[in-house]
Amino acid sequence: MTKQLALDIPPQRPRPATMLRVDEGALVQFATREGAYRWELMRARMPDRFTTVAVRTPGDLVDVACDDRAHAQWLAALLHSWGVPKASLTVRTTTPAPAAG
């Protein structure tokens, strides 16, 4: 018999407790050129922190995993300083699932 490697699926990463939801459509329209460039660098350098929630034109709705609420608020303030409207940035906190057992 042969060993089947197709079922070697990596486990799904746990959902972070705190996220910043970013409307990339607003980012594309209102951010400064440097802000949009830095956003693209962030997406390229830390792809494991980004989860696409909805695919839209001109930009996706994205959740950015943050370490804690202060980190999410700092990131929101940074994006706002780049020209992104506050209305398109939402700090979201999820409650962890109860432990099985």
Q: What are phi and psi of 46, to 5 degrees?
A: -130, 60
Q: Which helix or strand (DSSP H or E) is residue 77 part of?
A: helix 69-81
For residue 78, the model assigns a pLDDT of: 94
Structure confidence at residue 59 (pLDDT): 85
- Residues 45-59 have pLDDT tens digits of 999 999 999 998 888
Dihedral sign, Cα of residue 71, residue 74, residue 78, residue 80? positive
Q: Check whether the bond before 47 is cis (ω within 30° of 0).
A: no
Entry pTM: 0.76
pLDDT, tens digit (0-9, with 9 covering 90-100), for 6-54: 555 555 666 678 999 999 999 989 999 999 999 999 999 999 999 999 9
